[in-house]
Amino acid sequence: EAYMRDHGETARGDIASIAADLNNQKLLFDSDRPDFVRRVARHAALRGLVGAFVFDTSLKRIDANITLNSKIAFRAPTAEALARADKGELVVMPPGEGGNIIRALIKLTNYPSEYLYVYRAINPSVIDQLDETRAAKAEYDQLLQQRSGVQITFALMYAGVSLIFLLAAIWLGLWFADRIVAPVVSLLNGARRVTAGDLDTKVTEIEGPGDLQTLARAFNRMTYQLKEQRNELMTANLQLDERRRFTEAMLSGVTAGVIGLEPDGGISLVNPSAFSLTGMSESDLLGRSLAEVLPAFAIVFEQAASRVSGWAEGQVNMRVGTQERNFVVRVTTEAADSDDRGYVVTFDDITELVSAQRNSAWADIARRIAHEIKNPLTPIQLSAERLKRKYSREIQTDKQIFEQCTDTIIRQVGDIGRMVDEFSAFARMPSASLETQEMTAVVREATILQRVSAGDIEIDVRIADERISFAFDRRLITQAVTNLVKNAREAIEARQHDDQAMKGRIVVEAGLDHHAPFIAVTDNGIGLPKENRHRLTEPYMTTRVKGTGLGLAIVKRIMEEHQGRVMLDDAPSDFDGGHGARVTLIFMPLLEEQVAVTA
């Protein structure tokens, strides 16, 4: 061992000296590699080394390979040795089993990734003598220990054989127990997986007859049936979900209101049209009783619930905001053959339809009234005038009363005649004869005629700069503007009856709003009622004592002939403090080429 240490120290000194020299030869390494290799060879020969190598970190390139003979080859150092060398250590590796080469490794510090690796040979005879000495000592030690070891060996053999028999017995018992318990454990694990939702679980069926095989077979059959039933339920749920989405899409697209009811009348489903028609929000309807939120509908629902067919229909009136609306309500059952059945309520706003029917009926009545009354009016008026002319000079007593009576007859006959003319105009209104004309000129002419008879009422005309030309009936539009201005005058006169100091004012506007022509008449009269304002366009609906209720009805029919609409609003807040009314006629939007700016 001292010999080995001595050679190790020699190898340590040699590699340290060579490394010190090579660290100073970095320039030679980079510029003249062959000369660098010869320098390494001289170091190896000078120190009696059998091998000297310079290699990089990856061990893939050996920059200097110096060996004494071809039998000596490069043997890569271990990763541990490389790691120690990276830390700056000089690593000496003793010869391995049967070897006589001492190896030394050091990292060249002036090189990025180069190592110096040298071999030093040891005399083989010395190695052999060392091996023989070690073998003799080991044999002596073995003989020295055999004296007490024999007894221990026999004791261990006895204990080992006993342990083997014991372990064999335990193993055999466990094997039999496993044969019995394994199927039960398999069933238990399978049940746990099924509980967790894994219905693909299968347990192994034991071959041969027995209760465990029957139980395993029943378990597998049960899981198969559960899986099939789950698949059927999932398919049914998908179909129900698709049907629900289709139903919701269909309900959202219909204009009629639809409400789904529970058997007790609770609201469970409402489509968007139902919210719009009733003027209520989702929180107002969903989850609440139909009788609570829509008592008018509940009457029809109670009729359906009391019938075997589960069907009922009715027409109800309900206030939506400030307006009275007419609805046709139908109630049907979801499942007439079930006690626990829900209901579907469908309803639609027929206010406009009822109004149209009422207009049609009133038109027929007006035609009959005009026909029956108009014929005798002229003879009555002529007779009254003749009586006045013939007898006013002859009557000496109560002459004033006579003249008052004849004047009253003539005046009242004139009023009745004007009413009959309005009846005739409403009942026999001709279809619009549409011709392309300039609207603002028509409005200006119609307003000029009204200014003449307006008295002290100020009529202000505000016409837009655009020349608005489109197809309309000049006579009907003139009549509509005349009716609106006449209504405005009467509203102002009604207010002046209570406030004689009030200055009457009417503003007539004409122009475009988002390419739609409009005519608006604003007055500071008594204004329009807040409730059921929409019914003012129906025949014989009026808020004035002497009104016939046909003015706005005629205007509405004129606008319907022109595919337009009539808007009834309060006067703007900046117009006499918002006191009064504003009636707007809105026509269909025009194309851009139909609008020209006045130069």
Q: Is 249 in the same domain as 304?
A: no
Domain boundary among 307, 323, 349: 349
Q: Is 454 in the same domain as 569?
A: yes
Q: Identify which has the larger pLDDT, 55 or 548.
A: 55
Statement: residue 453 has pLDDT above 80: no
Q: Identify which has the larger pLDDT, 338 or 18.
A: 18
Statement: residue 229 has pLDDT above 90: no
pLDDT at 22: 87
pLDDT at 364: 64
Q: Is 83 in the same domain as 201?
A: no
Instruction: Dump pLDDT digits (tens) for 488-521.
Output: 888 888 888 878 778 889 999 999 988 899 999 9
Instruction: Dump pLDDT digits (tens) for 7-42.
Output: 778 878 888 888 888 888 888 888 888 888 888 888
For 7-11, 394-398, 435-439, which range has the lowest pLDDT when averaged over its residues?
394-398
pLDDT at 586: 92
- Stretch 49-63: mean pLDDT, rounded? 80
Q: What is the CATH number of the domain that holds 9?
A: 3.30.450.20
With pLDDT > 70 as the criterion, what percentage of the chain qualifies? 83
Q: What is the CATH number of the domain that holds 498?
A: 3.30.565.10
Cross-strand partners of 348 = 328
pLDDT at 521: 93
H or E segment and range at residue 452: helix 439-452
pTM for the model stands at 0.42
Whether 219 maps to a domain, the answer reads yes
Whether 247 maps to a domain, the answer reads yes
Q: What is the CATH number of the domain that holds 163?
A: 1.10.287
Whether 565 maps to a domain, the answer reads yes
Statement: residue 45 has pLDDT above 80: yes
For the chain, how far is it from start to end, CA to CA, in angstroms?
A: 124
Count of the separate structural domains present in the chain: 5
pLDDT at 192: 84
Q: Is 67 in the same domain as 111?
A: yes
Q: Is 478 in the same domain as 421?
A: no
Q: CB within 8 A of 19, min separation 6: which ones? A: 106, 108, 116
- Stretch 45-50: mean pLDDT, rounded? 83
Parallel, antiparallel or unpaired: strands 101-107 and 91-93 = antiparallel
pLDDT at 598: 46
Q: Is 458 in the same domain as 501?
A: yes
Whether 132 maps to a domain, the answer reads no
Statement: residue 267 has pLDDT above 70: yes
Phi, psi of 541 (to 5 degrees): -100, 110
Statement: residue 82 has pLDDT above 50: yes
For 310-324, 376-390, 455-469, which range has the lowest pLDDT when averaged over its residues?
376-390
Nearest to 301 by CA among 347, 366, 246, 339: 347
Nearest to 475 by CA among 543, 558, 397, 419: 558
Whether 9 maps to a domain, the answer reads yes
Q: CB within 8 A of 479, min separation 6: which ones? A: 425, 554, 558
Whether 94 maps to a domain, the answer reads yes
For 72-81, 479-488, 510-519, which range has the lowest pLDDT when averaged over its residues?
72-81
Whether 495 maps to a domain, the answer reads yes
Q: Is 248 in the same domain as 263?
A: no
Q: Identify which has the larger pLDDT, 79 or 359.
A: 79
Phi, psi of 75 (to 5 degrees): -120, 115
Domain boundary among 382, 404, 427: 427
Q: Is 476 in the same domain as 579?
A: yes
Q: Is 305 in the same domain as 328?
A: yes
Dihedral sign, Cα of residue 144, residue 148, residue 154, residue 156: negative
- Stretch 386-395: mean pLDDT, rounded? 73
* CA distance linking residue 77 with residue 117, whole number of Å: 9
For 125-129, 327-331, 436-440, which range has the lowest pLDDT when averaged over its residues?
125-129
pLDDT at 359: 64
* CA distance linking residue 12 with residue 169, whole number of Å: 62
Mean pLDDT across the chain, nearest whole number? Answer: 79
pLDDT at 429: 58
Q: Is 164 in the same domain as 280?
A: no
Instruction: Dump pLDDT digits (tens) for 306-322.
Output: 887 778 888 888 877 76
- Stretch 446-452: mean pLDDT, rounded? 79
Statement: residue 599 has pLDDT above 50: no
Domain boundary among 122, 138, 158: 122
Residue span of the structural domain in which 417 resides: 355-427
**Radius of gyration of the chain measured on its C-alpha atoms:** 59
Q: CB within 8 A of 21, min separation 6: which ones? A: 39, 43
Instruction: Dump pLDDT digits (tens) for 137-189.
Output: 777 777 777 777 777 888 888 899 999 999 999 999 888 887 777 777 777 88
Q: Is 237 in the same domain as 295?
A: no
pLDDT at 164: 92
Whether 547 maps to a domain, the answer reads yes
**What's the burial of 354, exposed, middle or buried (CB within 10 Å: 0-12/13-18/19+)?**
middle
Most confident residue range from 211-215, 375-379, 569-573: 569-573
Q: Is 394 in the same domain as 345?
A: no
Nearest to 430 by CA among 319, 255, 324, 557: 557
